Amino acid sequence: MNSDITIAILLGGASSEREVSKLSAAGVLGAVKELGYKYKLIDPSYGTIQPESDDEFFISQNFTEPNSRNYLNAVSSHLFDGIDVVFNALHGTWGEDGTIQSLLEFRGIKYTGSGVLPCSISMNKIFTKVMFQHYDVITPLWKLVRKTEKVDANLLDELEDIVGLPCAVKPNNQGSAIGLSICKKRSEIESAVCEAAKYSDEILVEEYIAGYELTVGILNGHAFPPLEIKPKHDFYDYTCKYTHGMSDYEVPARFPAEVLDELKKKAILAYQSINCSSYGRIDFRLNNEFVPYCLEVNTLPGLTSTSLLPKTAKADGLSFVDLIEHIIKNSLNS
Active site residue 283: yes
Q: Does 333 reside within a domain? A: no
Identify the active-site residue in 96, 206, 213, 296. Answer: 296
CATH code for position 100: 3.40.50.20
Residues 258 and 155 in one domain: no
pLDDT of residue 219: 97
Residues 130 and 84 in one domain: no
Residues 35 and 107 in one domain: yes
Task: Return the percentage of the chain with pLDDT > 90, whole number.
Answer: 82
Domain range for residue 239? 122-138+210-326
Active site residue 302: yes
Residues 220 and 319 in one domain: yes
Residues 162 and 231 in one domain: no
The tens digit of pLDDT for each residue in 124-179 reads 999 999 999 999 999 999 999 999 999 999 999 999 999 999 999 999 987 657 78
Residues 132 and 249 in one domain: yes
Across 83-92, 171-180, 323-332, least confident range:
171-180
Residues 251 and 274 in one domain: yes
Q: Does 263 reside within a domain? A: yes
Of 218, 191, 221, the C-alpha closest to 312 is: 218
Active site residue 115: no
Residues 183 and 71 in one domain: no
CATH code for position 282: 3.30.470.20
CATH code for position 165: 3.30.1490.20
For the segment 281-308, the average pLDDT, to the nearest whole number, is: 93
Question: Phi/psi class of residue 64: alpha, beta or left (left: φ > 0; alpha: ψ in -120 to 50)?
Answer: alpha
What's the gap between Cα 144 and its chain centre? Answer: 20
Q: Are 70 and 47 in contact (CB under 8 A)?
A: yes
pLDDT confidence bin for 304, thresholds 50/70/90: confident
Q: Are 129 and 139 in contact (CB under 8 A)?
A: yes
Identify the active-site residue in 15, 24, 88, 176. Answer: 176
Identify the active-site residue in 97, 206, 213, 283. Answer: 283
Residues 6 and 88 in one domain: yes
Residues 130 and 261 in one domain: yes
Identify the active-site residue in 17, 43, 228, 325. Answer: 17
Residues 241 and 127 in one domain: yes
Q: Does 25 reside within a domain? A: yes
Of 54, 15, 17, the C-alpha closest to 32 is: 54
pLDDT of residue 261: 97
Across 17-21, 74-78, 316-320, least confident range:
17-21
The tens digit of pLDDT for each residue in 101-118 reads 999 999 999 999 999 999
pLDDT of residue 63: 57
The tens digit of pLDDT for each residue in 227-236 reads 999 877 666 6
Active site residue 53: no
- Helices 68-75 and 99-107 pack at an angle, to 10 degrees, of 30
Please count the structural domains in the chain.
3
Computed over every residue of the chain, the mean pLDDT equals 92
- Whole-angstrom Cα distance, residue 201 to residue 161? 23
Instruction: Answer yes or no: is pLDDT of 238 > 70.
Output: no
Identify the active-site residue in 92, 179, 280, 302. Answer: 302
Active site residue 84: no
Identify the active-site residue in 160, 211, 242, 305. Answer: 242
Q: Are 290 and 313 in contact (CB under 8 A)?
A: no
Q: What are phi and psi of 77, to 5 degrees?
A: -95, -175
Residues 134 and 228 in one domain: yes
Active site residue 281: yes
The tens digit of pLDDT for each residue in 261-270 reads 999 999 999 9
Identify the active-site residue in 281, 293, 307, 330. Answer: 281
